[in-house]
Chain A
Amino acid sequence: MPSDVDLAAVWLTLKLATVTTLILLIIGTPIAWWLARTRSWFKGPVGAVVALPLVLPPTVLGFYLLVAMGPHGPVGQLTQSLGLGVLPFTFPGLVVASVLYSMPFVVQPLQQAFEAIGARPLEVAATLRANHWDAFFTVAVPLAKPGFITAAILGFAHTVGEFGVVLMIGGNIPNKTRVVSVQIYDHVEAMEYAQAHWLAGGMVVFAFLVLLALYTLNRTGRNL
Chain B
Amino acid sequence: MSIEARFRLDYPDFTLDVNLTLPGVGVTALFGPSGSGKTSLLRCVAGLERATSGYLTVNGQVWQDDARRLFTPTHRRPLGYVFQEASLFSHLSVHRNLDFGLKRTPVAERRVGLEQIIALLGIGPLLDRRPAHLSGGERQRVAIARALATSPRLLLMDEPLAALDLKRKGEILPYLERLHSELDIPVLYVSHSPDEVARLADHVVYLEAGRAHAAGPLNEILTRPDLPLVHLDEAAAVLDARVAGHDEVYHLTEVSIPCGRLAVSHSALPVGAPTRVRIHARDVSLALQPSERSSIQNVLPATVLDVQGDHDPAQALVRLDLGNGAILLARITWRSVAHLGIAPGIRVYAQVKSVALMD
Q: Shortest Cβ distance from A171 into chain B, in angstroms?
A: 46
Question: Within B53-80, which residues are at the interface with A (CB < 8 Å)?
Answer: 73-76, 79-80
Contact of A127 among B79, B85, B132 (CB under 8 A): B79
Give A102 to B289 CA distance when docked, in angstroms: 90
Q: Give chain B residues whose Cβ lies under 8 Å from the Cβ of A128.
A: 75, 100-101, 104, 146-147, 150
Contact of B89 among A121, A123, A127, A131 (CB under 8 A): A121
Q: Is the CB of B104 within 8 A of A127?
A: no
Known A142-B91, A143-B90; contact A123-B48, beta-carbon cutoff 8 A: yes
Q: Shortest Cβ distance from A168 into chain B, in angstroms?
A: 43
Give A125 to B85 CA distance when docked, in angstroms: 15
Contact pattern, B 91-110, Cβ under 8 Å of A = 1, otherwise 0: 10000000011001100000
Q: Is the CB of A129 within 8 A of B147?
A: no
Give A149 to B62 CA distance when docked, in angstroms: 44
Q: Is the CB of B46 within 8 A of A127?
A: yes
Contact of A124 among B47, B73, B76, B81 (CB under 8 A): B81
Give A224 to B90 CA distance when docked, in angstroms: 9
Contact of B48 among A126, A138, A145 (CB under 8 A): A126
Q: Shortest Cβ distance from B79 into chain A, in angstroms?
A: 7
Give A125 to B103 CA distance when docked, in angstroms: 12
Give A70 to B73 CA distance when docked, in angstroms: 49
Q: Shortest Cβ distance from A214 into chain B, in angstroms?
A: 20
Give A123 to B85 CA distance when docked, in angstroms: 13
User: Is B334 interfacial (CB 8 A cutoff)?
Assistant: no
User: Is B175 interfacial (CB 8 A cutoff)?
Assistant: no
Give A142 to B85 CA distance when docked, in angstroms: 20
Question: Within A105-141, which residues are at the interface with B (CB < 8 Å)?
Answer: 120-121, 123-131, 134-135, 138-139
Give A224 to B91 CA distance when docked, in angstroms: 8
Q: Give chain A residues whose Cβ lies under 8 Å from the Cβ of B104.
A: 128-130, 134
User: Is B135 interfacial (CB 8 A cutoff)?
Assistant: no
Question: Within B26-50, which residues are at the interface with A (CB < 8 Å)?
Answer: 46-48
Q: Is the CB of B87 within 8 A of A126?
A: no
Q: Is the CB of A129 within 8 A of B83?
A: no
Q: Give chain B residues whose Cβ lies under 8 Å from the Cβ of A138.
A: 100
Q: Shortest Cβ distance from A105 into chain B, in angstroms?
A: 25
Q: Which residue of A lies closest to B98 (CB)?
A: A128
Q: Give chain B residues whose Cβ lies under 8 Å from the Cβ of A143.
A: 89-91
Q: Shortest Cβ distance from B134 into chain A, in angstroms?
A: 15
Contact of B83 among A120, A134, A145 (CB under 8 A): A120
Q: Is the CB of B87 within 8 A of A121?
A: yes
Q: Give chain A residues whose Cβ lies under 8 Å from the Cβ of B90.
A: 143, 224
Q: Is the CB of B91 within 8 A of A129?
A: no
Q: Which residue of B lies closest to A139 (CB)?
A: B89
Q: Is the CB of A129 within 8 A of B48?
A: no
Q: A127-B80, A130-B100, A134-B104 are in contact. List 5 more A-B contacts (CB 8 A).
A: A120-B83, A121-B87, A126-B48, A129-B105, A143-B91
Chain A residues in contact with chain B, CB under 8 A? 120-121, 123-131, 134-135, 138-139, 142-143, 145, 224
